[in-house]
Amino acid sequence: MELNLAKTVVGYLKAHPDEKFTARQIAEWVFATYPEQCQAKKQSSQRLETDAELLQQIVREISSQLPRLQRKHLELKTTEGRPRKHYYSDRTDSAEVAAVESDGVAPMTDASTLKINEHALYSMLSQYLWEEFEVFSKRIDDKRSSNKRGPNGNRWLYPDVVGMEDLSKEWHREVRDCVTQYSDKRTKLWSFEAKLLINRSNVRECFFQAVSNSSWANFSYLVAAEIGGTDTLKELRMLFAAHGIGFIKLDVDNPADSQVLIPARERDEIDWDMANRLATENRDFLEYVKLVKQFYQTGEARPADWDIPDLDD
């Protein structure tokens, strides 16, 4: 019996609702589940000589068929970023976000029961920032903020994570001392707003939250563990053109494999008025400012003072 790949893929995803699979993972399941049909497919082809070539062909066919299948089956959805993952869900985009936010956790790995909450993203982000950019990062806890302005007086005021990049680590000491006296160009300050899931229902809200709490810095980023929908990244790029906020896709399985999908546009000068507002309202941000000041005074940033992960664990 000839393999109906489209029907097989839809049936498999429907049988595993809300679990996310790459095209290769689906192809490997097809190969293992329907060995006779797959071997018949290889024998009928003049180009496929090995099982590896057959598997790659199934991967290509799944990837090419899924956009058409999604137009026919609206429950079939695809994440953005690489690698793309495909899944079946009866929930709307807004319902997916609501479920993540109400539970505080979300399934993050393929066919896995592993769940992760938003708080866990911060240490992963810190690891990625240190390994990729050597950025010293610090968590900002909004619970350590003043509430004198009322319940929503400081809404969207604080980023989740802030960072400092030491531009002078390779400089001669005399040059560092000179720059310390005459300018503030030894560092770049970074700011990040982190989310578990961004899709078409919340992309603009998340982006403008990052605009509100992070645009004081030299580099401002929105970060997400997952990005859903075929047009979400397109929307982020359009918003970036107007506001310069970048986007990082955080790989929670291996933070070192995270990707800057949209590089932030550099702001030449720090908005110190906004930084003062954050420092006045939040003790964590005040500690961050003190650490930056200490760096300028001593020329050193002590890893123990920052959220630098112990990569030997």
Q: What is the pLDDT of residues 11-44, one digit of tens each?
A: 888 888 888 888 889 888 988 888 888 888 887 7
Q: Which two tokens stand for residue 130?
A: 């240190």
Percent of residues, the chain, with pLDDT higher than 90: 24
In this structure, is residue 254 part of a structural domain?
A: yes
Q: Which residue has the higher pLDDT, 180 or 249?
A: 249
CATH at 71: 1.10.10
In this structure, is residue 85 part of a structural domain?
A: yes
**Overall residue count recorded for the chain in this entry:** 313
Domain check: are 262 and 215 in the same one?
yes
Q: 101 pLDDT exceeds 80? A: no
Most confident of 42-51, 111-120, 157-166: 157-166
pLDDT range class, residue 107, cuts 50, 70, 90: very low
Q: Which of these three, 90, 106, 141, is where a domain ends?
A: 90
Q: Which two tokens stand for residue 127?
A: 């690891």
Domain check: are 71 and 124 in the same one?
no
Number of domains the chain is built from: 2
In this structure, is residue 252 part of a structural domain?
A: yes
Element (H, E) at 38: helix 35-43
Domain check: are 286 and 212 in the same one?
yes
Q: What is the pLDDT of residue 280?
A: 83
Quote the domain boundaries for residue 272. 118-305
Q: What is the pLDDT of residue 204?
A: 93
Element (H, E) at 267: none
By the 8 A CB rule, do 230 and 256 touch?
no
Q: What is the pLDDT of residue 240?
A: 93
